[in-house]
Amino acid sequence: MKFYGTALSSPLMLGTAQYPSPDILASAVKAAQAGVITVSLRRESAGQKAGQAFWSLIRELEVPVLPNTAGCHTVKEAVTTAHMAREVFETDWVKLEVIGEADTLQPDVFGLVEAARILTSEGFRVFPYTTEDLVVAEKLLAAGCEVLMPWGAPIGSGKGLNNVFGLRALRAHFPDVPLVVDAGIGVPSHAAQAMELGYDAVLINTAVAKAGDPVAMARAFSLAVEAGALAYQADPMAERDMAAPSTPLLGKPVLA
């Protein structure tokens, strides 16, 4: 699956926040063989030219960058941040976040659709962080988005895929739309499960950055997304309610 016409080298997208050190971040990105890295841009950093060493580190990794509007709670805030990110990173890609609830960090889907419409009209390639709601998905696509990023669970919770039914329904309703599970993934098996559902990528941050060994965990996630994608392509067997013997009864000896 291509994302706005671009094929990624890996279905693993990796966030760059909360790592113990820049060296560990760089090593984790390499171990993950990430297809994209996401970067949060704060207005004060861009305006005061702060954090230049970090931007230099990100560029040296030579991995496509997806700036995001993390921490934005209004349409105006998100749109302004997206414009600054485009100037700093020289890319039209933006992961759009408009947070609506403080405890769960659930997206404000009304503001999200509005902000997406504004940004797509201004030439941005929008990756919206959304819920698995089918109606919201339709409205985001109508607003010009060509990718959807439904959450698995609240950001940083590590709960995995809270609504497998909803995620499966989203995949079934939009078979030709690139879909990325974003947020809530805690362990590699969660990422593999998302790929087994037919998703095109997963975005991980906290699960790697906060692991005891972020580099080893990054490698584990890399293997997990590869395994999950291969399993989906292999057309897994359907679940059954009853047992089915793997050894046929035909030819079984009869002992008198």
Q: Residues forming the annotated binding site for 1-deoxy-D-xylulose 5-phosphate?
A: 156, 183-184, 205-206
Burial readout 85-123 (b: 16 or more C-beta within 10 A, e: otherwise): bbebbeebbbbbbbbeeeeebbbbbebbbbbbbbbbeee
Q: What are phi and psi of 235, to 5 degrees?
A: 60, 80
CA 13 to chain centre: 6
Active site residue 95: yes
The CA radius of gyration of the chain, in Å to the nearest whole number, is 20
Binding residues: 156, 183-184, 205-206
Query: What residue type is 164 in one-letter code?
Result: V
The residue annotated as part of the active site, out of 49, 76, 95, 159, is: 95
Q: List the one residue out of 147, 165, 119 whose CA is nearest residue 203.
A: 147
Active site residues: 95
